[in-house]
Structure 1
Amino acid sequence: MADSQKVFDLIHRQPGIIYSALTPNLKGFEAALAAGADEVAVFASASEGFSQKNINCSISESLKRFEPVMAAAKQHGLKVRGYVSCVMGCPYDGDIRPSVVADVADQLWQMGCYEISLGDTIGVGTPYKAKIVLEQTSRNIPVLSLAAHFHNTYGQALANVYALLEEGLSVIDTSVAGLGGCPYAPGASGNLATEDVVYMLEGMGIKTGVNMEELLKAATFICDQLGIPSRSNAGFALSRLIHPSG
């Protein structure tokens, strides 16, 4: 996050796009405000072990840190999105109780977050577990104010998303080419690939408004820059169709 200002300076902003910044504390919020972020995000964990490893404090302490961020965001008219990590498993604490996820999410909701993203940080979740987490979390938070943020470590992320779509969830966090990961989550792979989600949704007759051809160009560009292959199954297959000799 040290280079966030540089990233914002280099972005050619497009109308209709929300440019968000992660703000773990008030200092981060002030930096995001200076960079011209449209909204900010705070993140807590459903696992005490992960919270300590990731941000060096307990869950309750992390939530306390967000209070001045929420106040400052309200003062400046910025919306705040909340994230909950390790909603279906933790590399340090093992299985996570859905009731704990629901409690942390509810506290973020009560603070004023307009949307809560449920993150399977190490990608151990299955469709059944995902539905249980959503069912308990949505007891106090409307489903339309919840989002899915799944990593694809065990290849379950797309199935998990489909399961939650059946329950009415409609916001999905993804990353081009399946990039991502977490230094404090050993073994976790990248996020669910945008290409895979778009391919599935379009195949279900759900219009995403995403231009797949342009999406594939973006994926090729960033993978070339990083020197890594894409983690998207749909992206790989579609790229082969477009460039069969590639």
Structure 2
Amino acid sequence: MKELVSILIPILNPELTVLEELILRHSLEALKRYPVILFSYDGADLSGIETNHDRLEILTFRPKFFEDRQTLANLFLMEDFYNRFTWSDFVLIHELNSWIVKDEIHYWCKQGYDYLHTNPVLDHSDFKNGKMNDFSKVFGLNEGQKKALGKGFDNDGLKLCHVQRMISTLSAKKKEAHHYREKNDFENKDSLFWELEANRLWPYLRKPTDIVQNRFSQNIEKRATLFPNNRDAWPTGITGVTTKNIDHLPFYK
């Protein structure tokens, strides 16, 4: 029977930091009803992680994709990556810089979207009112704006992806995907590609509005508005978590 969703956790360095170990432990408990897969590079020694956590499945890819976050982004822009998970309708790519507030993953899988992630934190000097309009997405951004938008996706560590739709989009956008994989001056180029290219001229992915997306996840930089008194309005996940800001999470204390 096909899985509805599987949790994918990338491991760049098998020697987890204290924060990464804390987030991993929390996520395994919060998302325990789903299959959890750690993926890293061929030859990575994950025995320490496996010893501390049971029920984990391990997958590996070529080492060149795990040199840093930029090379990992290249993996997320390849059909071969998603082809490894066609036994699941959705995958939640969960990097260890993001905190699961509450398990609403099943709910989001049933909302009819193909791709959910965190809205970028945009610099007002590059984008009016810190926002990007739909016309910009269609007619394109200049190189400076693309770099600024890529920077706005720092620590965009939660992505819920419909596997077959990601594959079909990359198949239709082979040239564009290759271009982004070659562009090393774009930070977070996977997020940048899905934001700008996936639905340019033709809607390959069903994506939510910014308001709905904020209910899925938000960057902790927006913490002033993250946690209203109504806890039902809190997002499913928080991205951009570091040792310097984790104490700002009310549910962590």
Fold match, TM over 0.5?
no
Structure 1 length as normaliser, TM-score?
Answer: 0.30
Greater helix percent: which structure?
A: 1
TM-score when normalising by structure 2: 0.29
